[in-house]
Amino acid sequence: AAEGGEEGTALADLLDPRPCPTCGGTRLNPIARNFKVGDYTLPGFLGLRVEEARDALENLSFRKEQAKVLAEPLKEIRNRLGFLSGVGLDYLSLDRPMGTLSRGEARRIRLATQLGNRLTGVLYTLDEPTVGLHPSDADRLLAQLRELRDLGNTLVVVEHDETFIRAADHLVDLGPGAGRLGGRVVAQGPPAAVTASKKSVTARWLRGDASLPLPKERRKGTGRLLWVKGARTHNLKGIDVSFPLGTLTVVTGVSGAGKSSLVLETLLPGLRGERIQGEVLGGEEIRRIRVVDASPIGASPSSNPATFTGVLGDIRALFATTEAARVKGFTPRRFSPNVPGGRCEACSGRGFVKVQMHFLPDVWLKCEVCGGKRFDPETLQVTWRGKNIAEILEMEVSQALPLFAAHPRIHKVLLLLEEVGLGYLQLGQPSYTLSGGEAQRLRLAAELAGPAPEGTLYILDEPTTGLHLEDTARLLGVLHRLVDRGGTVIVIEHHPGVIRSADYVIDLGPEAAGKGGRVVARGTPEEVARCPRSRTGRWLGLPEAARAASGRPSQR
């Protein structure tokens, strides 16, 4: 198939990929693509979804001698298709390009590959395997992991999902806080033993002592609507969807139901004036769009929380007012690590020097001239309240809060960082060292620190990825504050607690791929919970008694 240029090049957006006219995108010559097994050619079979392929194999029939030869290959194919289905990917077509998969889908494909290898005596490490997975599919994934364990393997899983935590054989809870307040084993042992711990923050949530906040009342919004009409992107079935402005709206549905197709590939480009398969109406009410994702904030040490939030400018101004700075004639510019004058020129104020490894990834090493302090010795002689600019940048947010208590602009930003759970970050910590969740919360804090222009639309794609329930509670508080300031927040999310906290829910489905792409339910969380066709609704409205009887843990 003609790709139309490499992804990421400067001309990629100007190119229009089209199937090869000779092979029709199959990448096979005429002989190869005309061989058949049963009624299927190879391109035809690869065009099936996983669930369709499994059904197709069951309906194949062969002569006795053929069946004997094909028995082992067919068994292997059935097993591997079963593993893909088991990790919740039965809606994917077999020829789906890897570049079009979400991060969670790619992870689960790698997991299915390991399941198919049927190895024993292997140590598997999994980092948040539930990313992008609907709660109703979590049990299927858990069953696959247990199968790996029962084969004689050891699985170490980094996970925040309550279902997985309760299902573990052994828990190791780290903390008690983050940054310098963490790094210790708070509790370990069977889930029941960890739940009884009085020191563990995780245990508070397992015991039910803490829960995600619910709004006192659902917002009705401004009364105006943002419409998507006739959306046909990917598996969307020409649907009409309205988003009430001035609310926290959560778009839900099983994996592959069409959530990203609706919000990120139809609504967002439509608002930006790009060509879409559908129509967006009501966009004149939106004056500003912010996509708050988990992508890296910066790729070098030059970017850090202090520069991203803008507080470094105010801190530099304070240093310029000191007597030592006035005597030396230093301006605020002198205390910037990103412009010549006061910075260490050996590392260009980064504190680190990039070493190109040619055939290996580049490595950042601490600057030997300034020792990672970013400034020249003369600049470091200037102090404010006993600390030089390098020492200020090495301080954590929570440490800097009392130092700047008398300076409202700086204190406001630092307090917001503390409130979103980033009090452990150093002001000058290189942005490339931040996790996706940290980068996302840093963006939200920067939004709250700035002016509150009405008509701002915030779009977030699974913001709870990588977040502990404690941090999820803080995130919800930030999202509600953005709405209270006159904004509209649209979130793609699977987390039941976030969905319950929404003002309005749009549930897509009822299933994935070709069986999805329709609006199953819409309205308040209570209204969606009463919809019998909604798989999401079952997780919102299932009473605790029934949940306990079913053996499932409570999804808070």
Summarised one tens digit per residue, pLDDT across range 400-440 is: 999 999 999 999 999 999 988 899 999 999 888 888 888 88
Residue 6: pLDDT band with limits 50, 70, 90: very low
CA-nearest of 263, 330, 248 to 499 is 248
Higher per-residue confidence, 411 vs 547: 411
Name the more confident of 86 and 472.
472
Give residue-wise pLDDT tens across range 353-405. Answer: 988 887 788 888 999 999 999 999 999 999 999 999 999 999 999 999 999 99
pLDDT tens string 465-497: 888 889 889 889 999 999 999 999 999 999 999
How far apart are alpha carbons 422 and 435 in whole angstroms?
Answer: 11
Give the gyration radius of the chain's Cα atoms: 27
Residue 554 has pLDDT above 50, yes or no: no
252 neighbors 494 (Cβ within 8 angstroms): yes
Does 298 have pLDDT greater than 80?
no
In the chain, the N- to C-terminal Cα span, in Å, equals 46
Per-residue pLDDT tens over the stretch 67-84: 888 889 998 899 889 888
pLDDT greater at residue 357 or residue 551? 357
Average pLDDT over residues 435-452: 85
Region of 401 on the Ramachandran plot (φ > 0 left; ψ -120 to 50 alpha; else beta) = alpha
- 350, 374 contact by CB (below 8 A): yes
Position 448 scores a pLDDT of 87
Quick: pLDDT tens for 306-341.
Answer: 999 999 999 999 999 999 999 999 999 999 998 899
User: Which has more confidence, 465 or 519?
Assistant: 519
Q: Report the mean per-residue pLDDT for the chain.
A: 88
The pLDDT value given to residue 373:
94
- pTM for the predicted model, two decimal places: 0.83
For residue 490, list its beta bridge partners: 249, 459
pLDDT of residue 521: 95
Confidence check: pLDDT of 212 > 70: yes
pLDDT at 13: 64
**Residues 146-156: tens digit of each pLDDT:** 988 999 999 99
Please give the C-alpha separations between residue 311 and each of 348, 400, 414, 417, 463, in angstroms, as whole numbers.
20, 12, 8, 11, 25
pLDDT classification of 9: cutoffs 50, 70, 90:
low
pLDDT in tens, 214-255: 888 999 999 999 999 999 998 999 999 999 999 999 999 988
Helical ranges in 87-177 per DSSP H: 103-117, 135-150, 162-167
Angle formed at CA 542 by CA 541 and CA 548, multiple of 5 degrees: 155
User: 478 in helix, strand or coil?
Assistant: helix
**Whats the size of the chain, residue-wise?**
556
CA distance 349 to 336: 8
Which of the pair, 435 or 12, is modelled with greater confidence? 435
CB atoms within 10 A of CB 55: 12
Annotate 422-453 with DSSP letters as a single string.
Answer: -TTSBTT--GGGS-HHHHHHHHHHHHHHS---
Amino acid at position 71, single letter: A
Contact between 488 and 498 (Cβ < 8 Å): no
Q: Is the pLDDT of residue 35 over 60?
A: yes
For tokens 């050891």, the residue is 154
Find, among 522, 547, 545, the residue nearest to 533 by Cα: 522
Residue 553 has pLDDT above 60, yes or no: no
Q: Residue 17's pLDDT is what?
A: 79
